[in-house]
Chain A
Amino acid sequence: MSDTVLYGIEAALNGLMTGVMYSLVALGFVLIFKASGVFNYAQGVMALFSALTLVGIQEGQVPFAHLINAIFGTNVQNFGWEVPALLAIILTIGVMILFAWLVERFLLKHLINQEPVILFMATIGLAYFMEGFGDLMWGSDIKTIDMSMPMLGLPEGLPQGGSFMIEDATASWGGDGFYGFFIDRLDITAAIIAIILVITLTVFSQYSKTGRALRAVADDHQAALSVGISLRTIWVIVWSLAGVVALVAGVMWGAKSGVQFSLSLITLKALPVLMLGGFTSIPGAIIGGVIIGVGEKVFEYIVSASWFGDAMGFTMNATENWFAYVLALIFLVFRPQGLFGDKIIERV
């Protein structure tokens, strides 16, 4: 096989993994959008906030340390203990559930029956509030996530770095310039976790009583109310679920590039994923993410290659920045409900 093709495949594989990361964020959107019709702009910030909280709890950081020090002239930073990763994860999930409850109590409850755009604006406000709040609570420095969980057989934390196994196994496929496929093990872990997450969520929403209620609420708020499904409970449940998904996304992205505030910008990358996969489909979020991840990497690889330049007379760079949006635009024109979005049921 020629090296060009092999490098193309490598680009595709890496895109696949990046795509899974996009999917993780998109998944949180879909959950909330399905159940409440709210496009939750704060999903990315939720990922950031949950990752910050996780690291903060793990390292025994004192919340609001800067604030406390500024007011009381003290110098507290740390409780001086370290919380094991597994326990910290459980505590963070608790925080995200509390957060979901607060959002329902102080935001959604007052916006019942309002226009979607008003709810959307509210989530933009929420996003900026949380970004500031996260900063105030945990500080703004870039943090690293340490996910060592001996109990789960991960004493070193999440596997990271290139997989030598794959590299060695594939090195002989190409010529001298080819050293085998480079695939980050973290990406593989992320993919596996995403798959488990999707299967769990799908089974939950298809076969559990609460899941059925979630789908009922997604279809018709009023009717759900009329049969005695409490919208407020359902909203707390979906926001909690979205919080957990955000945590997973936050941990994965955080492990990849450090927990920093630019994490909240992945919201913007999830948007085209949703347009592709459909705003209401859980598998759609995953497949949309994968298509965009692979698409942008492969497209970039092709149009920036010299053989492409020879054939076409021009090359393009930095296409990753806009490729996803253009693809989304095309979908908006030809298939507005996305690949897997709920069909708009029209009876004749």
Chain B
Amino acid sequence: MLDDVQTRETLLEVTNIEVIYNHVILVLKGVSLSVPKGGITALLGGNGAGKTTTLKAISNLLRAERGEVTKGTITYRGNPIAELDPATLVKTGVIQVMEGRHVFEHLTVEENLMTGAYTRRDGGAAIRKSMDLVYEYFPRLRERRKSQAGYTSGGEQQMVAIGRALMSNPETVLLDEPSMGLAPQLVEEIFTIVKDLNQREGVSFLVAEQNTNVALRYADYGYILESGRVVMDGRADDLRENPDVKEFYLGVSEEGRKSFRDVRSYRRRKRWLA
């Protein structure tokens, strides 16, 4: 299925966007990417590379943080979405799962899930059905449905956050750093479910992730972001085989461990990327 990624219909198209916080801090310096229908697209990069900002620019949560897109365009199914408020965007089918889970701590797990259906107008029966679907994918949440979300474990909170987003019946989910603060085994579990959702329910994902290794194993396509620019992109398989990605992001090198002097040479060598 990887081969038809390029030929698939494009859902989300980000073209050369620039984001400025507080009118002064330039965070994104021209990021372009596209998310095809039914794929998992990974947005990779280290701390402060601009992954979260890119996702928030798309979901329009930026404005609540005094950030704004000053250049470039963002379209969904060909329509510009930069001016829509998050609520309209959720109705259109794009929803973000924020970094660090952000569950509603004092609400129960089930109430958390119900808030995800806030924008839906298709009646209680349909919402119940979605709820059952979420419980099917995250059986653990069914067990804990009456617990206050603030008292559940980190992994469960991540599941609540993803499940809550699914309750909006989304076409595209922007998933920000799902692995944050989770044990490796849980990270695998979460990504397996994401892959499952993608293949069985046809939900498209744009996943921002620092954990390059895991993300590239589950994604179809990847973009690598460095200080506000896309420095490389390609099919996930190709990226995994790329010697630079291997060296700088996957920590695998043919010459063994690197010393600091080599890190400097890495910076020089990297210039072609920018």
Contacts and interface: CB of A to CB of B under 8 A. Distances in A.
Contacts of A230: 85, 87
Interface residues of B, number: 37
B189 to A, nearest CB: 19
A227 B95 contact: yes
Contact of A345 (B64, B118, B148): B148
A165 interface: no
B23 interface: no
B28 interface: no
A219 B108 CA distance: 12
A226 interface: yes
A321 interface: no
B150 interface: yes
Nearest to B60: A225
Interface in B61-116: 61, 63-66, 85-87, 89-91, 95-98, 102-107, 111-112, 114-116
A223 B103 contact: yes
B115 A227 contact: yes
Interface in A112-167: 112-113
A213 interface: yes
Contact of B118 (A112, A209, A220, A221): A209
A146 to B, nearest CB: 43
Nearest to B97: A226
B150 A220 contact: no
Contact of A228 (B95, B98, B107): B95
Interface string B167-207: 01000000000000000000000000000000000000000
Contacts of B103: 220, 223
A113 B64 contact: yes
A216 interface: yes
A226 B104 contact: no
A224 interface: yes
A345 B106 contact: yes
Nearest to A112: B64
A227 B88 CA distance: 10
Given A212-B111, A345-B150, A227 B118 contact: yes
B125 to A, nearest CB: 15
B164 interface: yes
A168 interface: no
Contact of A229 (B87, B98, B153): B87
A228 B90 CA distance: 6
B106 A227 contact: no
Interface in A307-348: 342, 345, 347
B24 to A, nearest CB: 16
Interface of A: 112-113, 209, 212-213, 215-216, 218-231, 342, 345, 347
Closest 5 CB pairs of A and B: A228-B90, A345-B150, A223-B102, A228-B119, A219-B104
Interface of B: 59, 61, 63-66, 85-87, 89-91, 95-98, 102-107, 111-112, 114-116, 118-119, 148, 150-151, 153, 161, 164-165, 168
Given A215-B107, A228-B87, 4 more contacts: A216-B104, A220-B104, A226-B97, A228-B90
